[in-house]
Amino acid sequence: MTLKEILNGKMILVVDDEPDIIESVAEELHMCIIRKAQDYDTALQYLLGFTFDVVILDIMGVNGFELLKTSVSRGFPTVMLTAHAMSPDALKKSIKLGAVSFLPKEKITELKSFLADVVLEDGKPIWKRLFDKLGDYFDKRFGPDWKERDHFFKEFEDTLKEGGKDELT
């Protein structure tokens, strides 16, 4: 099955305060049904009023972590897509609040692949695949020892290596 076939007709909410990012995501996911929101209030209305196969949230500018809480409470698999908040702390908070993945905006051309993984896993977290695919990127961005500097990430990585769940409980 192709990425296009996996994602075809999926209902996706894209939330970002930058219109060009929303349009780039919409173009990348042209086979999906896309709802767009550029602010917190509009996004919240969509989250409370519709059902989504996947929600894509920016962190900065739209109060993404608060929206993440709402999205997760509604049972929507949620992917964080960010540039300005690209940090180990934002990644950790995303994991703890229930996001299923965390992508840098500069990897937007790989979004289809990550969303297909989310869909194929029935919305379960795909952290192991994310770190397998983007581990080198995170090491370059955060420093080669970023996981060792924070007990949370060391424990999380050990859980993933042991074949455990893609989440900490």
- Whether 164 has a pLDDT exceeding 80, the answer reads no
CB 76 within 8 A of CB 44: no
pLDDT digits (tens, 9 = 90+) for 35-56: 999 999 999 999 999 999 999 9
Mean pLDDT for 60-81 is: 95
pLDDT band at 61 (very low <50, low <70, confident <90, very high): confident
Mean pLDDT for 95-118 is: 94
Of 124, 155, 76, residue with least CA distance to 168: 155
Model pLDDT, residue 43? 98
Q: Compute how many other C-beta atoms are within 10 angstroms of the C-beta atom of residue 108.
A: 16
Q: Which domains does the chain have, with CATH numbers?
A: 3-124 (3.40.50.2300)
DSSP H helices in 37-168: 40-49, 64-73, 88-97, 111-120, 127-142, 151-161
